[in-house]
Structure 1
Amino acid sequence: METSRTEEIAAKALARVNDDRYLLANLIFERVKELGAGAKPLVKMDIKKYKLPDIAMREIAEGKIEFASVEEKE
């Protein structure tokens, strides 16, 4: 991926979470854990060729992954 392309994807992903960098970081972190545990990417990116955070960021930028809600753990 080119740098400018990566910056475009990051900007789109950030826009999807209303410019909340903290929320974006948390979404990426959670999705990376899922991908690392064997989840299939929701975008056409080879998990062996691309880094998991790049895949997660693209998924968010394309609207495949969204923040739904947080449930309190008791």
Structure 2
Amino acid sequence: MPKETKARATIDNEAAAENTNQEIDSKYRMIIVAAQRSKQLQRGARPRIEIDLQRHKSTRIALEEVQQGKVDFKIIEEQ
């Protein structure tokens, strides 16, 4: 019976060369990365895209950043 492997994504605040332009392989992982980025924005992080902060919530900003490839992340395999 194969072992179940879980993966989680963490956002790298420092841009790592190997993660630059890394594509997200599923819509579920994209949501996880965007949710983590949204938490950072709520805690005071500056947006990485130009957007009106008064008109958009942190979740929308985070999702847009992820879709534009502005968020560096690392996938950690857990066993």
TM-score, scaled relative to structure 1 = 0.64
Give me the CA root mean square deviation: 1.8
Contact 2:31 2:63 in 1 (8 A): no
Partner residue in 2 for 1:8: none
In structure 2, the CA distance between the partners of 1:70 and 1:58, relative to structure 1 (3 Å rule), is same
> Over alpha carbons, which structure has the higher Rg?
2
Which 4+ stretches in 1 moved above 2 angstroms? Answer: 69-72
Provide the TM-score with structure 2 as the length reference.
0.60
CA contact (8 A) 2:42 2:58 kept: yes
How many aligned residue pairs are there?
56
Partners in 1 of 2:59 and 2:71 — Cα distance?
A: 13
Among the aligned pairs, what percent are the same residue? Answer: 30
1:29 aligns with 2:32: no
The one of the two structures with greater contact order (alpha-carbon pairs below 8 A, sep at least 6) is 2
The answer to which structure has the higher helix fraction is 1
